[in-house]
Amino acid sequence: MRWESKPTPDPKKVKEIQEALQIPETIAMLLIQREIEDFDSAKAFFRPQLTDLHDPFLMQDMQAAVERIDQCCRDQGALMIYGDYDVDGTTSVSLVYSFLEPYFQKIVPYIPDRYSEGYGISFEGIDVAAEKGVQLIVALDCGIKAIEKVKYAQSKGIDFIICDHHLPADKIPDAVAVLDPKRSDCNYPYKELCGCGIGFKLIQALTIFWKEDPKELSSYLDLVATAIAADIVPITGENRILAFHGIEQLRRHPRIGLKPLISQLKKPVSVTDLVFIIAPRINAAGRMGSALTAVKLLIEKEPNAAQQLVTTIEALNSERRIIDERITKEALTLIENLNEKERYSTVVYGEEWHKGVIGIVASRLIETHYRPTVVFSVVDDTMVGSVRSVKGFNVYKALEACKDHIIQFGGHKYAAGLTIKKDRYTAFKKAFEQVVQDRILPEQRIPTVVYDLEVPLSELTPKLFRILDKLGPFGPQNMRPVFRTNNALDSGHSKAVGKDGSHLRLSIQTEKKPMIGIAFSQAKFLTHTQSKKPFDLVYTLDENEWNGRTSLQLKVKDLMT
């Protein structure tokens, strides 16, 4: 890895905030790096308030959206809540469905089938709405490019409200309302909400419009926090407020459907748990079966029924894990056999590769071959692909440059999806490789670890850890602090661990008892550490529980000898 340090904070500012807050210098420096430079901004950071959320009616088309939903309610019309099949989509549908269900005699949750319908709004979904007598569809986490689909719905007498957070094209659909802060004509102050976050702004606006108690909205924040974590949006501004209170909701009063998953955790739920434990299970429903299973879980009110759904989802997740490990091995072998180690991009496909896991496989391939990656699955005469990127490289714009070879695509800077004709695979692969070669910077081809501060091990105390923890929730643009320590020495008790002995359990000398660190896939350094030669390391600080005892532990990101 390439090690990169954040700029050293201004010592004068550090001293000022250190004295104002009566905090250690290390914490003061971390706050300055996060542009928190005075008492008031620190108070807002450490104690995010729901009262600081923006007025939802600042969002373009919000008034039209709530008026159309209100009209549908007064007319006793049928309503469909339509969402994508990932965590952001399923939480969005669950949130808006459970909020509106008491107001409507007929309300239908709908998630498109990943395989027969694909991403976003589908003609099939609109046909289902028409069959069920639906007059209004609220689409969440999708729809910003569904111009033809919205026209089709209008021909069947169905209106659309679109709640999306993806980048719009030059033209937006002719819907009753299009809620998307990334619209060029939208003056909403915060642009980084996820789809579920925009769904929350919609129910916030309806609460105001219907003069309901805003305190009732807290019960929906567990879903919003789950979506924020899973969709990897910046945890700044409103997202930080929503994530902070959503995690509190998850810890104190999680919904019935999430309780069985949360009860498995040894510590209070965190963003990390949402990303690596909760989200993969919610996602597994849509990857391996029907995403509506996840929605049913998230809106379930009866504990026994929720437990049965969790059992189903756990089985799907286990199946998903087996399949994505197999496909990853096959893809790595393919790259080896094609002699493509030196390329600037990875583009691979398999005739039998499961469409539901190719996004996970793309991420795993980047761990071995660090470069923008596309993994395709074959569906009849088309190929459906998942795209993942490396730090700093915009794959969405790269796909735009290859659009002559693509049927459709959508997504973000770092993750996207696309569909191509099977006979265009070779042309697309060549075009994508050329675009990456032309645009990627040399430093973007090397994995980079950015560290906040250089500290001696003597500074790492339980008190410091407790204060560090209050900087959370952690995520993009507010990552868990990464420290660097130079000239560390092995205490003589480091060893290789794990089933295959590939991980390194460090035991590092300090003035008191040794500091333990875990370095995944770094056992190759054991010979060096045992030689008593000094080494540098970058790491985050964590707690480890063993036999009822809690101690500090380093989660090592990289070592340098």
3-class secondary-structure state, position 557: strand
Greater model confidence, 549 or 322: 322
pLDDT in tens, 353-374: 999 999 999 999 999 999 999 9
Cα torsion angle, 446, 452, 456, 460, sign: negative
Q: Are 128 and 137 in contact (CB under 8 A)?
A: no
User: Left if phi > 0, otherwise alpha if psi is -120 to 50, otherwise beta: which for 143?
Assistant: left
Q: How far apart are the first and last CA of the chain?
A: 12
Residue that has been written with the tokens 């925009």 in this structure = 198
Greater model confidence, 261 or 341: 261
pLDDT in tens, 83-110: 999 999 999 999 999 999 999 999 999 9
Cα torsion angle, 168, 110, 255, 86, sign: negative
How many Cα atoms within 13 Å fall on the side-chain side of residue 474? Answer: 14
Q: What pLDDT score was predicted for residue 180?
A: 98
Per-residue pLDDT for 412 more than 90?
A: no
How many Cα atoms within 13 Å fall on the side-chain side of residue 29? Answer: 17
Q: Are 278 and 226 in contact (CB under 8 A)?
A: yes
Per-residue pLDDT for 547 more than 80?
A: no
Write the CB contacts of 145 (distance below 8 Å, at least 6 apart in sequence). Answer: 120, 166, 168, 169, 173, 410
Residue that has been written with the tokens 């072998």 in this structure = 333
How far apart are alpha carbons 530 and 329 in whole angstroms? 33
**Per-chain mean pLDDT for the chain:** 95
Q: What pLDDT score was predicted for residue 242?
A: 98
- Its pTM stands at 0.92
Q: What pLDDT score was predicted for residue 410?
A: 83
pLDDT in tens, 138-170: 999 999 999 999 999 999 999 999 999 998 989
pLDDT band for position 172 (50/70/90)?
Answer: very high
Once rounded to an integer, what is the mean pLDDT over residues 482-499? 95
Task: Catalogue the E-assigned strands of 97-180.
Answer: 107-110, 134-140, 159-163, 177-179
Show the CA angle centred on residue 375, arms to residues 116 and 387, nearest 5°: 90
pLDDT in tens, 301-312: 999 999 999 999
Q: Dihedral angle at the C-alpha atoms of 85, 91, 95, 96, nearest 10 degrees?
A: -30
Q: What pLDDT score was predicted for residue 183?
A: 96
Tokens of 536: 């540098």
pLDDT in tens, 180-219: 999 999 999 999 999 999 999 999 999 999 999 999 999 9
Sheet holding 415-421, edge to edge: 346-350, 373-379, 382-388, 415-421, 408-411
Cα torsion angle, 443, 446, 447, 449, sign: negative
Per-residue pLDDT for 513 more than 90?
A: no
Q: What pLDDT score was predicted for residue 266?
A: 84
Q: Are 556 and 519 in contact (CB under 8 A)?
A: yes
Per-residue pLDDT for 378 more than 80?
A: yes
- The CA distances from residue 91 to 231, 290, 297, in Å, are 11, 14, 10
Q: What pLDDT score was predicted for residue 544?
A: 85
pLDDT in tens, 381-405: 999 999 999 999 999 999 999 999 9
Q: Which domains does the chain have, with CATH numbers?
A: 56-311 (3.90.1640.30), 338-445 (3.10.310.30), 449-561 (2.40.50.460)
Q: What pLDDT score was predicted for residue 512?
A: 84
DSSP output for 29-58: HHHHHTT--SHHHHHHHHS--GGGSPPGGG
